[in-house]
Amino acid sequence: MKPICKSLFMLSCLFLVFIVLAFPLQAQTTSNAAAWTLEECLKKARLNNIQIKQAALQTKSAQANYSQSKAARMPDLNGNASYSLNFGRNVDPTTYEFNNQASQNVQLSLNSNVILYNGNRLKNTISQRELEYQLAQLQVENIDNNLSLNVFSAYLQILLAQEQLKVLQNQTQLTQQQLDQTQKLIKAGARPKGDLFEIEAQIANDKLSMVNAQNAIKTAYLGLAQVLDYYEPIAVVRPTIRVPDEDALSDLTAATVYQEALSSQPQIKTAAMRSRISEQGLRIAESGKKLTVSMGASLSSGYSSLAKRVIEAGDEILVLPSPYITSSGELVNYVGTAFPSYENAGVGYQLNSNFGGALRLNVNIPIYNKEQVKNAITQSSIGLENQRLTEQLEKNNLRRTVEQAFLDAKAAAENYNATQVAVSAQEQALEFTKKRLEAGAGTTFEYLTNKNRLAVAELNLQSAEFNYYFRVKILEFYRGQRLSFD
């Protein structure tokens, strides 16, 4: 008997050492850390979530595309300026004759074009870009929706693990009380010494269960940290959880929840929005069969260093001698004739003299384009039909999800009621066994067996209570209500 006592004592010491080492690790997770409410966790999750950040960027991009599509209705305006230095044989831009004189030339122009009609392509494109902008916003809402559900689930998992640890701590205290009572009875000679070994083994088993429960809390905190993408020490605030009444689901049906989910869930709105975008895409493709009318205008002017300006009447007139020899050596008689002189034309003079403009009206009539428009319409029609099927698939998936959630909630309610009855029965059984043990009619083994059954029943009750609460919250979530502990 002594070796058995020694082994049990060593085993108990090992468990106590393990608990002492393990508990500070748990304390590092929650102690000296600010306690966060569910709302604070949701705020941190939204702030850190990469998918939400990416969706926000996509929203900005869609907004820019929408603005660009509206601006496409306006006329454009482009300016052009060019400078050239010519040498050797080249054409004089003022006379369009060849010469070998070096020159500098500047050309300036303004051009503008506007689409007057293109089969409502611009109008439909604007509508499509607006829908894409709204879709991007819905995608942010959809990601936020799923993230909120994950945070709520992880938060609730921590609360469940903490409650289960409390149950095991209470059971350990009861075992310790029974150990003290048994030691007194053994000293009085009322119980055999073997009962003490059974209780000591039970204490070691209770401590092992507590270690597992503490590890479950750590795992739950890790799950929340991963959802939040935040790995500093945190703790959660224990809210007041009001478990719904047994008849909380009596007025609900899966069909009612589904109809409310159709109008509240962002994935359904997203699918419907994609169908509308595809409809606009088809209209844009069909506009390729219609003519396009556009108008353009341009203004231009220029400068050349070769340009000459005639000195006007009233200025100095050069009277040529007679006969007059030209640069080519030809003899010309200008008897009594006045010949005007020339000077280099200035920049302002040339820009004003060379200023001109034009108006253009363009009509593009599609006659045959290698069936590109026809194929584009066909592809858009196929895309629209496929998107409508996808929308219906989303509705079908939502119906299946809601129906399953409703069945889970019903089952959770029944399980919760059943575990309440089980705990009550096990409490009565344990109390009866305790009285039998104290009266000497029962055994320690019977007492410990009923005590373990009560512990399992209480753990099941905690799980059933949280599961029922969570399932009801899931139904509220699909009905469009905000996830909270209110």
Domains of the chain with CATH codes? 2-73+120-286+371-478 (1.20.1600.10)
pLDDT for 338: 54
pLDDT of residue 42: 94
Burial 17-32 (b: 16+ CB within 10 A, else e): eeeeeeeeebeebbee
Tokens of 398: 């939502």
| Average confidence score pLDDT of the chain | 84
Q: List strand residue ranges (DSSP E) for 56-149, in order.
A: 78-86, 90-92, 97-99, 103-117
Cβ-contact 319, 338 below 8 angstroms: yes
Per-residue pLDDT at 12 exceeds 70: no
What's the pLDDT tens digit per position in 446-464?
877 888 888 888 888 888 8
Cβ 380 vs Cβ 285: under 8 Å: yes
Quote the radius of gyration of the chain (alpha carbons, Å): 45
pLDDT band at 436 (very low <50, low <70, confident <90, very high): confident
Report d(CA 22, CA 2) in Å as an integer: 30
Whether pLDDT at 2 is above 50:
no
Rounded alpha-carbon distances, angstroms, from residue 47 to 42, 51, 52, 139, 304? 9, 10, 8, 16, 63
Query: What CA–CA distance (Å, rounded) separates 453 from 430?
Result: 9
- The pLDDT value recorded for residue 339 is 54
Q: Compare 408 and 342 and report the one with higher pLDDT.
A: 408
Report phi then psi at 317, rounded to 5.
-110, 130
Between these two residues, 417 and 183, which has the higher pLDDT value? 417
Looking from the CA of 213 toward its CB, the CA atoms found within 13 Å total: 22
Nearest CA among 419, 471, 456 for reference residue 164: 456
Give the lowest-confidence range in 56-70, 280-294, 297-311, 381-395.
297-311
Mean pLDDT across 70-74: 94
Q: Alpha-carbon torsion 90, 94, 97, 102, what sign?
A: negative
**Residue 227: per-residue pLDDT:** 95
Query: For 257, what's the count of Cα atoms within 13 Å in the CB-facing half-sphere?
Result: 25
For residue 439 the two structure tokens come to 């009266």
pLDDT in tens, 284-293: 999 999 999 9
Helix axes 266-286, 121-187, angle to 10 degrees: 160
223 band by pLDDT with thresholds 50, 70 and 90: very high
Please check the confidence at residue 329 and state whether its pLDDT lies above 50.
yes
The pLDDT, as a whole number, for residue 133 is: 97
Predicted confidence band of residue 312 (pLDDT cuts 50, 70, 90):
low
3 versus 221: the higher-pLDDT residue is 221
For 69-74, which contacts have Cβ atoms below 8 Å and span 24 or more sequence positions? 69/122, 69/125, 69/126, 69/128, 69/129, 69/130, 70/126, 72/115, 72/122, 72/125, 72/126, 73/115, 73/122, 73/126, 74/114
pLDDT reported for residue 259: 94
Task: Tokens for 109, please give them.
Answer: 């122009």
Contact 229, 45 (CB under 8 A): yes
pLDDT of residue 47: 95
pLDDT at 17: 34
SS3 content of the chain, % helix, strand, coil (to 5): 65, 15, 20
pLDDT band at 190 (very low <50, low <70, confident <90, very high): low
Mean pLDDT for 16-25 is 37
Q: How far apart are CA 417 and CA 414, in angstroms?
A: 5
1 has pLDDT over 50? no
Cα dihedral value 83, 87, 88, 93, nearest 10: 40
Flag whether pLDDT at 14 surpasses 60. Answer: no
pLDDT of residue 351: 86
> Once rounded to an integer, what is the mean pLDDT over residues 365-385?
93
Q: What is the pLDDT of residues 83-116, one digit of tens each?
A: 988 888 888 777 778 888 888 889 999 999 999 9
Q: What is the pLDDT of residue 11?
A: 36
412 closest CA partner among 249, 172, 261 = 249
Residue 326 confidence (pLDDT): 58
Question: Which of 11-15, 185-189, 306-310, 352-356 comes out lowest in average pLDDT?
Answer: 11-15
Q: Which of 234-248, 369-383, 420-434 has the highest mean pLDDT?
A: 369-383
Angle at CA of residue 366, ends 364 and 372, nearest 5°: 130
Bond prior to 266 in cis (omega within 30° of 0) = no
Query: Measuring CA to CA, how many Å separate 475 from each of 239, 249, 418?
Result: 20, 10, 21
Question: What span, in angstroms and rounded, lies between the C-alpha atoms of 105 and 94?
Answer: 10
pLDDT of residue 38: 93
Q: How far apart are CA 143 and CA 134, in angstroms?
A: 15
Q: Tell me, what's the pLDDT at 6?
A: 38
Q: Give me the pLDDT at residue 75, please.
A: 94
pLDDT digits (tens, 9 = 90+) for 130-162: 999 999 999 999 999 999 999 999 999 999 899
CA distance between the termini of the chain: 58
User: Within 10 Å of residue 121's Cβ, how many Cβ atoms?
Assistant: 19
Q: Quote the DSSP letter at residue 37.
A: -
- Averaged over 247-263, what is the pLDDT? 90
Looking at the whole model, is its pTM more than 0.85? no
pLDDT of residue 359 exceeding 70, the answer is yes
Question: What pLDDT is stored for residue 308 in this prediction?
Answer: 78
> Residue 306: what pLDDT?
81
